[in-house]
Structure 1
Amino acid sequence: MVDEQPRRLLPRTGLGTKLLVLTVLFVMLSEVLIFVPSIANHRQTWLADAHRNASVAAAIIAETKNVPEQLKLRLLDATDTLAISHRDGERRRLIAMAAPPTMVDRHVELGNETIAQSILAAFDTLFAPNGRILRVTAMPEGRAEEVDVILDETALRADMLAYSANILALSLVISVVTALLVFMALRWLFVRPVKRLADAMIDFANDPEDATRTVAPSRRSDEIGDAERCLAVMQRQLADTMTERRRLAELGLAVSKINHDLRNLLASAQLFSDRLAAIPDPTVQRFVPKLVRALDRAVGYTSGVLAYGRAGEAPPSRRLIDLEHLASDVGEILGLDMHPTIEFRILVDDAMEIDADPDQLYRVLMNLCRNAMDALEADPHDAVVRRLAVAAERAGSLVRIVVSDTGPGVPDAVRQALFQPFKGNVRRGGTGLGLAIAAELVRAHGGELTLLDTPTGAAFEITIPDRPVDLSVRRAAIA
């Protein structure tokens, strides 16, 4: 089998690395979303400035008579234009031209482009070849005629590429700085606490019974703090469970060691009981059958104690039982019928019958009566009333048995874990197994063992239903 031990994640695959990469990518994506309208606006601004400068040059030439051609060419060169013309009504007049007319590749009407058109035109310019000719048309402010400007797109493209490079460099700087700041903040707030929790879980998984490996919750009041506190509680509960399992394993080992010797001792006691049965004394003859039954039950318990440790109690073998007689046997075995200080009452109708396993119900009553007897005998005051009663009543197919006493009662501290192994011990030196075993035996019958709220003493109620009748089997038997 492959040993699957918990291992720590490598730093390159940790949350910090992933967080840093994702932060850079998201910031770059944000910069791209900012760059798209920004480059479109830069193109519009550049064209508007070029048209404005050309319009100023056109106004100077138009207002000045007999402008030398050399001056016109210098004005066109200063404004990066090839030709300037204006239209007044239906008439168009060429103001200046640096070279013979060429084919115009694109026509731009400033102020009439939509946002989408402007963005598409900006990227068209970025990926356009050098030497493309643009015709830019607009209405200058304060003038009635429309001015057309013919220019080479190469200068615009070079300026847009330089602008894009600057934006890219700035975006990289912003991305790195922002990513580092966000990374450091999130690492301090989230990644380090999560890594601490992961390391604590790995360390605890390597040795759950080591109390020093339990995570120490911080004072954080957010979700991380809640996770730390919940993990600490879960680790403590799991450590307690592991300790209980180890104790159960040790108990099972101890029981298995003494089981053989105990069976031999009980076998010897059975031989002596057989010899006692041959003595013709009335008292001996009265108690020997009870002693034999007690020894038989003890032998049965030792045979099944290991099975209990492995898979729980055997299914009940139910029969009709005289409940008054069974309670009387319990009282005689415990010596309650002749106890000097404890009054033992059996408040059960002589005709009361219950459908249950006799040995298992005997063990339930034995555990409850022995616990009550120990509680009553532990009280040092002679004036207190010491009474133990077993009462029963039938309601249809349900039998209700109540074992009550006038002792000190069950402390509130153990009520929640009363029927849990090793936790429900009321008296000092107890194992806490008696009530757990009794509750399991009652549940095997489909019933329930509960502690009743009483003003004095303790009262345990056993409810056991009769077996349901299988009508199909009954009809088959009648047929």
Structure 2
Amino acid sequence: MSEIPTADERIDPAKAAAGTAPRSVPPRTVPLSRGLSTKLLLLTIVFVLLAEVLIFLPWIASYRVSWLKERLSTAAAVSIVLVQGDPASLSRAAQNDVLMAIGARAIAVRDGGVSRLLVVAEMPPQVDEHIDIANTGMVQGMTGALDTLFFGGNRMLRVFGPVGESDKEFELIMPDHSLRKAMLIYSRNVAFVSLLISLFTAMLVYAAIDLIMIGPIRTMTRSMLAFSEAPDDPGRIIRPAARADEIGVAERELSQMQERLQKMLAEQKHLADLGLAVSKINHDMRNILASAQLISDRLRQVRDPTVQAFAPKLLRALDRAVSYSEGVLAYGRTQEPPPSRRRLRLRQLVDDVHGLLDTEGGIEFVNAVDLAFEVDADSDQLFRVLTNLCRNAVQAMAADQESALVRRLAVSAERLGSVSRIIVTDTGPGLPPKARENLFAAFRGSARSGGTGLGLAIAYELIRAHGGTVELVESVGGRTTFAVTIPDQPVRLDQARSGLRRPA
């Protein structure tokens, strides 16, 4: 029986994500006396002994009745000889020898309602217990046997009953010390045999359960301890056996859980490394964008009509870039800031998104939003959401260079009560199944080779902060549709009442 190791320390995902390994603590081993194997063996021995005790009660009762029947049968044989002859012809010494051989004090026979005392050595002053051999039940036999076994030895018994096919009833007066001695010897032999059976059964049960259960559980325990020491090592993942029972299910679930945890820790470490790298790049990027803002301010002084048309868009793009750059460092410390919601003209916001897209490769952009359509949202955050969705659509359609293909990106909107629904539709090739499974998960929901999948993850987070949702409505070859749902802010009752009051 081997010892099962236990772990004193569990892995800290935060430390693993930061690339810091947990403090190494050597695992303890469970003492042999506290292991599952020892407990199983001892419990099996105890349970088998308890079962033997329950079986022992009817056994000892049956042995007591059989012992008394044997003595009564011997007395009956002697009685028949004496009845056919002359009992008075036996000398006192011969009577004592007969009674001593049987272990009795007196022998009597009852025939036709008449009782005859055949042989008597010394009639006892009293009889402590009367035993009817023919009418002794199981419960009465067990209680009598226990009484004789624990409290007997100095009692006088009267045993009576028929023997064989004879119509006579024989009686036997005898002390119970010989019966108790025989019962003690029988009990000792039964206890010894029961102990051997218990040990043999326990070893067989232990061997079977150790092979079926304890061994696999020990393997899973060692695998968990080994995995906790080095969760980034693929070799520490348990290899499940091809079993269809509960142990096999547990091994497969543990293997899948370890694989998911390993991927999650790798992604967290990737995010931590990426955040550090972006923070370093962002520090210098802000200076470059500030210089670009100064140059763009000078462009506004140029009188060229073309420059005057593009200068405002360039300024807005640079302002947003600076704002995003400043928000990158804040994101590393906290989450996205809560949305600052205002009433926006969605068509103009969609035009600004169009101005940042590269649609010169034959991609048609359709702004189907009504001029009067308004949405209750944060301008910068909604701009980021639509930019990510539209840029993904443009990149997907730009991958197909066939001139006959229709490449169109359309943005429309509709209002359902107090809910605004923005629909982004493209005629690209559609999303692959792998991207659909992890659509809004960072680093797993990318539809392009080499993509990070951050765009949809960011869009999902920003819209959820508005109390809305981003969902994939349809994705087949030639049509992909995303829907952004944003509910209006709830109006407080006191503000609504104050707004309806007429001025005095």
Q: Shared fold by TM > 0.5? A: yes
Quick check: 2:430–2:477 contact (8 Å CA) kept in 1? no
Are 2:378 and 1:352 equivalent residues in the alignment? no
Is the CA contact 2:152–2:180 (under 8 Å) kept in the aligned structure 1? no
Matched, 1:307 2:330: yes
Of 141, 147, 158, 1:135 maps to: 158
Identity of aligned residues (%): 48
TM-score by length of structure 2 reads 0.89
CA RMSD of aligned residues (A): 2.0
Which stretch has the larger CA shift, 162-171 or 386-395? 386-395
Taking structure 1 as reference, are residues 61 and 464 closer, same or farther at Cα in structure 2, changes over 3 Å only?
Answer: same
Distance 2:396 2:382 in 1: 21
| Runs of at least 5 residues in structure 2 that lack an aligned partner in the other structure | 1-7, 11-24
State the match for 1:292 in structure 2. Answer: 315
The reply on whether 1:254 has 2:263 as its aligned counterpart is: no
Instruction: Name the amino acid aligned to 1:416.
Output: E
Q: Choose 180-189 or 199-208, whichever is displaced more.
A: 199-208
The equivalent residue for 2:480 is: 458
Aligned to 1:15: 36
Q: Is 1:327 equivalent to 2:350 in the alignment?
A: yes
Equivalence for 2:71 = 50
- Mapped partners of 2:393, 2:342: distance in 1: 27
Aligned CA distance change for structure 1 residues 404 and 130 (closer, same or farther; 3 Å)? closer
Q: Is the 8 A contact 2:429 2:477 kept in 1?
A: no
Name which of 131, 135, 158 aligns with 1:108: 131
- Which residue of 387, 390, 411 corresponds with 1:366? 387
Aligned 1:36-185 pairs, distance under 5 A: 36-65=57-86, 66-69=88-91, 70-89=93-112, 91-185=114-208
Letter in 2 for 1:446: G
Residues 10 and 253 from structure 1, CA distance in 2 versus in 1: closer, same or farther, beyond 3 angstroms? farther
Deviation at 1:7, TM superposition (A): 4.7
Say whether the 8 Å CA contact 1:61–1:72 is kept in structure 2.
Answer: no
Q: Is the 8 A contact 1:7 1:202 kept in 2?
A: no
Corresponding residue for 1:223? 246
Question: Are positions 1:419 and 2:440 aligned together?
Answer: yes
Secondary structure at the residue paired with 2:89? coil
Provide, for residues 48-86 of structure 1, a one-character-per-residue CA deviation record: whole Å limited to 9, x for no partner: 111111121122112112532133222222222111123
Aligned to 2:400: 379
Q: Which residue of the partner structure matches residue 444 of structure 1? A: 465
Secondary structure, counterpart of 1:328 in structure 2:
helix
Cα deviation code 1:291-336 (max 9, x no counterpart): 2221111111111123334443211111111111111111122254
Q: How far, CA to CA, are the matches of 1:93 and 1:475 in structure 2?
A: 119
Shift of 1:280: 3.6
Shift of 1:403: 1.8
Give, in angstroms, the shift of residue 340 of structure 1: 5.3
1:28 to 20, 24, 49: 49
Report the Cα offset of residue 214 of structure 1: 0.5
Name the aligned partner's letter for residue 467 of structure 1. Q
1:111 partner SS: helix
How far apart in 2 are the matches of 1:157 and 1:342?
108
Distance 1:455 1:470 in 2: 46
Change (3 A) 1:149 1:356: same
Partners of 1:85 and 1:180 lie apart in 2 by: 54
Q: Is 1:401 equivalent to 2:422 in the alignment? A: yes
Give yes or no for contact 1:86–1:93 (8 Å, CA) kept in 2.
yes
What is the identity, as a one-letter code, of the residue corresponding to 1:51?
L
> Does the CA-based 8 Å contact 2:425-2:479 persist in structure 1?
yes
The one-letter amino acid of 1:303's match is E
* Residue type at the aligned position of 1:298: A
Return closer, same or farther for 1:240/1:149 CA change in 2, 3 Å cut-off.
same
Distance 1:127 1:92 in 2: 33
Which whole-Å deviations, capped at 9, do the CAs of 1:442-471 have from their partners, x for residues lacking one? Answer: 222222222232551322222222222222
How many Å apart are 1:129 and its aligned residue? 5.0
Aligned to 1:202: 225
Count residues in correspondence. Answer: 476
Which letter does structure 1 place at the counterpart of 2:117?
L
Q: Structure 1 length normalisation: TM-score?
A: 0.94
Q: Take 2:118 and 2:409, find their aligned partners in 1: how far apart are those partners?
A: 126
User: What is the DSSP-based 3-state SS (H/G/I as helix, E as strand, rest coil) of the residue aligned with 1:415?
Assistant: helix
Residue identity opposite 1:431 in structure 2: T
Post-superposition CA distance 1:20-66 (Å, at most 9, x none): 01100011011101111110111111111111111211221121125
Quote the Cα distance in structure 1 between the aligned partners of 2:57 and 2:440.
72
Q: Check whether the contact 2:419–2:485 (CA below 8 A) recurs between aligned residues.
A: yes
Asked if structure 1 preserves the Cα contact closer than 8 Å seen for 2:134 and 2:162, the reply is no
State the one-letter code of the partner of 1:284: V
Contact 1:8 1:199 in 2 (8 A): no
CA contact (8 A) 1:392 1:399 kept: yes
Which runs of 5 or more residues in structure 1 are unaligned?
A: none
- How far did residue 475 of structure 1 move? 1.8
Q: Distance in 2 between matches of 1:288 and 1:100?
A: 136
Structure 2 counterpart of 1:420, which letter? A
Give 1:165 shift: 0.6
| C-alpha spacing 1:372/1:90, structure 2 compared with 1 (3 Å) | closer
